[in-house]
Homo-oligomer: A and B are copies of this chain.
Amino acid sequence: MDHIYSFDEYGELLPEEKDTINQLTKAPIESLNLHSITVVTNLYRAAQGLRNKMEREVLAKHGLSWTSFSILYDLWIWESVETKKLALSAGVSKATISNITNTLERKELCYRKVDNRDRRITCVVLTEKGRKVMEELYPKFHEGEVEVVSSLSVEEQKLISSLLRRVIRENNF
Q: Which residues of B contact A32 (CB under 8 A)?
A: 142
Q: Which residues of B contact A118 (CB under 8 A)?
A: none
Known: A37-B142, A48-B47, A139-B25. A53 touches B159 (CB 8 A): no
Q: Which of A138-152 contact B (CB under 8 A)?
A: 138-139, 142, 145-152
**What are 29 A-B interface contacts by the 8 Å CB criterion?**
A1-B91, A1-B92, A2-B93, A5-B173, A11-B165, A16-B77, A24-B76, A24-B134, A25-B135, A26-B135, A33-B142, A35-B154, A36-B145, A36-B148, A37-B145, A38-B161, A39-B160, A39-B164, A42-B160, A42-B164, A44-B50, A44-B51, A44-B66, A45-B168, A49-B171, A49-B173, A148-B167, A150-B170, A152-B163
